[in-house]
Amino acid sequence: MLVSSDKEISSILVIFGGTGDLTNRKLLPALYNLVSESLLPESFAVVAIGRKEKTVEQYRQEAFQAINKYSRNKIAKDIWDKLSSLIYYLQFDFLDSAGYVRLQAYLESIDEKHNTAGNRTFYLAVAPEYFEPIVNGLHCYELAKRSGSWQRLVIEKPFGKDLKSAKSLNDKLSGAFSEKNIYRIDHYLGKEMIQNIMVLRFCNSVFESVWNNKYIDNIQILLSEKAGVGSRGGYYETSGAMRDMVQNHVLQTLSLVAMEPPVQLTPDSIRTEKLKVIQAIEPFSSNSIDHNIVFGQYGSGLVEGKAVSGYKEEEKISASSTTETFVAMKLFVQNFRWAGTPFYIRTGKRLGSNEGKIVIQFKAAPPLLYFKDKFDHHANVLVIKIQPEVGVCFQFNTRKFGTTGEIISTRMDTGNACSTTGNTPEAYERLILDILRGDNTLFSRWDEVEAAWGFIDKIIEHQKQKNLEYPNYQAGTMGPRQANELIECDGRKWWD
């Protein structure tokens, strides 16, 4: 719980892209819920910056609409009044240097009014082409470093589009802000169950003692979406599922599942262990890519009984697009803990389910005594359910009550009787709070991003040279047929 008078966390949150989609859908609702839970510091204000001309009052009205539409909690008047009195709006074009001079003066006036001590969080909720000009503006007009106070930079993905561009962006950012003040968002790290992975592993000896290649047969990570690319076609065409999901969310999730226990619960101790996992992923050769990765792009199909169009027919998508909307991959983490245990990954759009989960499949008991065959349903399975359900499910074997002596799989599911269910906070609530506290554990450090691009780049490079026949899966299914073959040829199956 934050101490409201804490000078350390008093600050102004400056949102570039204050009228954009991310601000409306995620940031404003998160702020509302933080106010409602009395988690924001007493001395706090929000300055939204946008290119459109509007008064503070108009902006507050729009913010109200956005929160009303997207917040997980219904708006209560007293909470809204409190938040509304903290919100301001300043119009300027991010490319116009005079705007940064005005911003400096404006923030100083808000400091006086709200007692925010000169501390600033600059949140870049804008398209990536504005990252550099904004940081440059903040640097040149001395907003990025001020003595006697702190200044932090929050940057959304995509962090570059390959290793080279990510390095170049990082050089620009680190010219203005120190690494400890750069918060690279991967919103998956703010999700309840992703944060719970370390607790599950390191607070339960019953799991941690068997969390290795001796007892685990394989690990599966599924991040599937029923939605298509929607109105984000322009961005998605330059990205595809590899850059959009695998480079960040999937690898971050995997690193938490596979990491060694950190020496301490400090940001750097944890991030160093995560980094080692990404560095230990066995790189693919050109030959092994074809055997271990399946790319897909959706065609038309049925999702929840409604006909939907194929990717190439979506808004802002080229009719000859070769962008992948699906990836299935088998990879190995080559260290002592994991050598020989495959990690299977699947992510994509317009799939048959909307789900985030990690499945840990343990090795089956030997086919002696009760088991005559090695059937999957006899394996112990631990499922970490990220979304839409949140919780853990463990599958184990018991004897069916009665006389036949049949062995059945039983499930213990925290979803059924759980002390941690309820209205789970949105990832952004936790992330905003951590930024104000100065805790960057849940944000990607540069070397993690760098290692992830190093792994992904080669795959994207290889894929570009292939003439893949798209579409190769129907919307509403679980991806191309080859994705099933990828795992079935190892004698395993996806846990759907």
The distance of closest approach from Cβ of residue 326 to ligand BG6 in the complex, given in angstroms and rounded to an integer, is 12
Based on CB atoms, which residue is closest to ligand BG6, 208 or 315? 315
273 lies in the binding site for ligand BG6 (CB under 6 A): no
225 lies in the binding site for ligand BG6 (CB under 6 A): yes
244 lies in the binding site for ligand BG6 (CB under 6 A): yes
Based on CB atoms, which residue is closest to ligand BG6, 188 or 362? 188
The distance of closest approach from Cβ of residue 244 to ligand BG6 in the complex, given in angstroms and rounded to an integer, is 5
The whole-angstrom separation of Cα 12 and Cα 30 is 15
Is 462 among the catalytic positions?
Answer: no
Size of the site for ligand BG6 (CB under 6 A): 4
Residue indicated by tokens 């001796």: 214
Site string for ligand BG6, 146-185 (x = CB under 6 A): -----------x----------------------------
| Nearest-CB residue for ligand BG6 | 244
The distance of closest approach from Cβ of residue 101 to ligand BG6 in the complex, given in angstroms and rounded to an integer, is 34
Site string for ligand BG6, 352-371 (x = CB under 6 A): ----x---------------
Footprint on residues 429-468 left by ligand BG6 (CB under 6 A): none
Which of 114, 187, 249, 378 is catalytic? The answer is 249
DSSP 438-494: T--TTEE-HHHHHHHHHHHHHHHHHHHTS---S--EEETBSS-HHHHHHHHTTT---
220: how many CB neighbours lie within 10 A of its CB? 23
Footprint on residues 64-103 left by ligand BG6 (CB under 6 A): none
Contact 54, 89 (CB under 8 A): yes
Beta-carbon contacts of 413 under 8 Å, excluding residues fewer than 6 positions away, are 391, 392, 393, 394
Based on CB atoms, which residue is closest to ligand BG6, 41 or 356? 356
Strand partners, 124: 16, 155
The distance of closest approach from Cβ of residue 157 to ligand BG6 in the complex, given in angstroms and rounded to an integer, is 6
Based on CB atoms, which residue is closest to ligand BG6, 20 or 118? 20
Instruction: Please state whether 86 falls in left (phi above 0), alpha (psi between -120 and 50) or beta.
Output: alpha
Contact 349, 229 (CB under 8 A): yes
Q: Which of 336, 385, 362, 348 is nearest to 477 (CA)?
A: 348
Based on CB atoms, which residue is closest to ligand BG6, 9 or 431? 431
Based on CB atoms, which residue is closest to ligand BG6, 55 or 238? 238
Based on CB atoms, which residue is closest to ligand BG6, 157 or 271? 157
The distance of closest approach from Cβ of residue 245 to ligand BG6 in the complex, given in angstroms and rounded to an integer, is 6
Contact 157, 169 (CB under 8 A): no
The distance of closest approach from Cβ of residue 312 to ligand BG6 in the complex, given in angstroms and rounded to an integer, is 18
What is the biggest distance separating any 2 CA atoms in the chain, rounded to whole angstroms?
Answer: 83
The distance of closest approach from Cβ of residue 353 to ligand BG6 in the complex, given in angstroms and rounded to an integer, is 12
DSSP 98-155: HHHHHHHHHHHHHHHHHT-TT-EEEEE-S-GGGHHHHHHHHHHTT-S--TTS-EEEEE
Point out the residues that are catalytic: 249
Provide the binding-site residues for ligand BG6, judged by CB under 6 A: 157, 225, 244, 356
